[in-house]
């Protein structure tokens, strides 16, 4: 029986999301290359915030879950053809992605930031500022112009098919050389080797990289970036016809917000509370 039909049947019969005695398994995909969201250890096992959250949600839904690694630039197509059932990989909820897949409620927030090589002598830029691209006023326009001026002529790396790539193209594509990568690891290798001068990605992923010897040659630059094409937060992606699975995920996320589990896991992995605002 297809998973979507089986889950719907379970809900109709018991009015309980995914009964324990169903003993069904869903497969959750993560990139496995952007810690602390998801990483891959020396034994090839996935770890990170998304993995812990996924396990907790499956426990609440009373189903088994398995985790698989999937390259970022193919993760949505692989979901839509049924290679796995859920994406949990620090994926922002956006209108463009919602044209292809459905999203749960947000289970995390976050923001993005540039890093630049220290030998460029740019300093820290406007790091004390926060730039919400959902509301562009005069202050936001001035910050964007400062960034455009500082980044002009630079080669900037970004993860292919990411929202950061879309933002970089939209706001800076005419002043920077954009280099798209299939993985965060490969972008970081090129940054360390000096083949690019900076990059744009999730703040927490950069934070962990900058603590390593390879990351010591770079530093954060400019304001915290959020909103706009990055959407309202990070959610679990499912196929659009998986209505029962989506409802079960939302119920589990609500419960994990209410009892403080998401806050605890975010403090564990990020040393910051990135659980959704407005605790339920």
Does residue 174 share a domain with residue 243?
no
Same domain for 64 and 143?
no
Asked if residue 188 is part of any domain, the answer here is yes
Contact 262, 276 (CB under 8 A): yes
Angstrom distance (rounded) from CA 34 to CA 37: 6
Q: Is there a single domain that holds both residue 154 and residue 55?
A: no
Let me know how long the chain is: 280
Cite the beta strand spans of 25-169 per DSSP E: 25-30, 39-40, 46-47, 64-69, 86-87, 102-103, 112-117, 130-132, 155-159
- Residue range 82-138, pLDDT digits in tens: 999 999 999 999 999 999 999 999 999 988 999 999 999 998 888 888 898 988 999
Least Cα distance to 222 among 134, 120, 92 occurs for 120
pLDDT of residue 41: 96
Q: Are 217 and 246 contained in the same domain?
A: no
Task: Report pLDDT for 24.
Answer: 82
Residue 279 inside a domain? The answer is no
Residue 275 lies in a domain: no
Within a domain: residue 88?
Answer: yes
Sign of dihedral through CA atoms 234, 204, 173, 177?
Answer: negative
Q: Are residues 103 and 239 in the same domain?
A: yes
Query: Does residue 259 fall inside a structural domain?
Result: yes
Mean pLDDT of the 18-24 span: 49
Q: Do residues 171 and 97 share a domain?
A: no
Residues of the chain with pLDDT > 90, as a percent, come to: 79
Q: What is the mean pLDDT of the chain?
A: 90
Asked whether residue 83 is domain-assigned, the answer is yes
Name the most confidently modeled range: 125-129, 161-165, 251-255. Answer: 251-255
Residues 92, 33, single domain; the answer is yes
What integer is the mean pLDDT of 232-248? 95
In a shared domain, residues 207 and 121: yes
Give the structural domain span for 198: 112-230
What average pLDDT does range 51-62 have in this prediction?
A: 97
116 with 202, same domain: the answer is yes
Q: What is the pLDDT of residues 167-223, one digit of tens each?
A: 999 999 999 999 999 999 999 999 999 999 999 999 999 999 999 999 999 999 999
What pLDDT, on the 0 to 100 scale, is given for residue 220? 96
Same domain, 79 and 20: yes
Q: How many domains does the chain have?
A: 2
CATH number of residue 20's parent domain: 3.40.190.10
The token duo for 126 is 């406007």
226 shares its domain with 241:
no
Q: Are residues 104 and 137 in the same domain?
A: no
pLDDT band at 1 (very low <50, low <70, confident <90, very high): very low
pLDDT score of 75: 96
């Amino acid at each position: 029986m297809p998973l979507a039909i089986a889950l719907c049947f379970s809900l109709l019969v018991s009015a309980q999301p995914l009964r324990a005695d169903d003993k069904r398994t869903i497969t959750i995909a993560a990139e496995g290359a952007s810690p602390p969201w998801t990483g891959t250890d020396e034994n090839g096992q996935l770890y990170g915030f998304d993995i812990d959250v996924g396990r907790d949600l499956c426990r609440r839904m009373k189903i088994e879950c398995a985790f698989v690694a999937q390259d970022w630039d193919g993760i949505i197509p692989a979901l839509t053809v049924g290679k796995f059932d859920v994406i949990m990989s620090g994926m922002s909820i956006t209108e463009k992605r919602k044209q292809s897949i459905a999203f749960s409620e947000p289970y995390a927030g976050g923001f993005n930031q540039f890093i630049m090589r220290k030998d460029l002598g740019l300093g820290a830029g406007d790091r004390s500022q926060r730039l919400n691209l959902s509301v562009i006023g005069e202050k936001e326009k001035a910050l964007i112009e400062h960034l455009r001026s500082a980044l002009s002529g630079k080669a900037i790396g970004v993860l292919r098919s990411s929202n950061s790539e879309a933002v970089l193209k939209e706001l800076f594509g005419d002043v920077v050389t954009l280099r798209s990568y299939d993985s965060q690891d490969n972008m970081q290798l090129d940054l360390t080797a000096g083949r690019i001068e900076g990059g744009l990605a999730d703040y927490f992923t950069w934070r962990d990289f900058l603590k390593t010897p390879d990351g010591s040659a770079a530093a954060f630059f400019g304001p915290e970036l959020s909103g706009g094409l990055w959407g309202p937060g990070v959610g679990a992606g499912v196929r659009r016809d998986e209505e029962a699975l989506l409802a079960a995920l939302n119920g589990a996320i609500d419960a994990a917000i209410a009892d403080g589990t998401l806050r605890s896991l975010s403090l564990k992995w990020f040393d910051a509370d990135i659980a959704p605002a407005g605790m339920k």
